[in-house]
Structure 1
Amino acid sequence: MRDFLTPLRNRTRAFCRDEDGSMTVEAVMILPFLLWAFLATFTYFDVYRAKNLALKANYAISDLLSRENTPIDMNYLLGIEDIYTYLTQGGDPAWVRVTVVRCTEDCTDEAVRTLDVGWSKATDGLAALTDEQVQETYADVIPLLAEGDWVTMVETMAGYEPPFSVYLTGIRPRDMRDIVLTRPRFASQLCWNTEPICDNYE
């Protein structure tokens, strides 16, 4: 039995010590992994780049809206959407929704405070928000406000299409959705030109 195993052990040791190889065979074995790693890494960085662009674009248009001291209209909002699409480098489809909110009761307690929608408008046929929707869905997003103070909530969405198939990278097409809140800088509130709440605009 020992004589039978000796040649086998010798061959195994020789194989382990052998450093000969074929570059062609090694390249064929490793090339698919290298290609996958390159494509996946490129896609992962690209999706973070797109998300960063979408958020920065929202901040940019939120800052623009915060400086308005005259009522805006749908043409203005559509222009804002064009700016957003440009800043996100063509993230399509894209939409923008602007909602003006204030706190009217129990403003020091997030759990029981009452949030009131002054007006809400959106592009691309997106529905406007109601008091109930803001109270139920966005209460955790809106910070504590002094009673009667207005805040402008800007919601944006830009579509993202990965450069390579989901089967290669695991990254699927997705919507880059962001919410940014700002206070008006030069007026008590951001106004919509046809809203009754803006009749006494200051």
Structure 2
Amino acid sequence: MTLIENPFNEVVRKGTEISGARLVGFLAAPSGRPEGDAVEVAAAIPADWQGQPLCLKIVSADGLYESRNAYAVAPDWVGGRADLSYPSTHEKEALAYPGSQIAGLVSLGDCRQSLGQVAPIFWGRNVETGFAVLLNTARSDETFLTFPDQPDLEDVTCEATRSELRTAFDTRCDLPPGVVAMGTIEAVVVSFKNGEMGPEEHLSLRFGAAP
């Protein structure tokens, strides 16, 4: 993976900015602070993304730390996990957040395109399993993740994230372990607020090597 952005696009804000994005994270991260003094990021990148750009987006729950950078996938990429160059100049601020308060994902296409296919990232060293989807549901009362094309998978009941400031995302959906082997999962987010169902959000989740 080759980092395209120069300089690296990263910001630490004094005040929050509200984003309209519903899907904010698709990742595996430690519950506490990552190990080490440098930000380490990897991603599970599908084989059929070869030769195309991808966008890595990272944001803290309070919205004060954010980065957004494009990378080029090698033309001969065969799929799997890859380390992503992350030349942060704000390591102290980024690493101050526990993994539970960081969201991130990679999406196919450069950072100017709307989200389509997304793949998970690994935030921190020695993080292997436990993928979760992080959402901004505008403080919905209940949120569920369903898998219409996989009737054997049970719906996921999502939970509110444990953070005082939940500006960028407020809900966590832990994915069943078996979905990783499926390669591609089509999921639907359904939220309820004050007894009313909000609009559905369709997600195309990719898991690395499988096309």
Alignment TM class, shorter chain as reference? under 0.3
Query: Where is the strand percentage greater, Structure 1 or Structure 2?
Result: 2
Query: Where is the helix percentage greater, Structure 1 or Structure 2?
Result: 1
What TM-score do you get using the length of structure 2 for normalisation? 0.23
What TM-score do you get using the length of structure 1 for normalisation? 0.24
Q: Compare CA radii of gyration and give the structure with the larger one.
A: 1
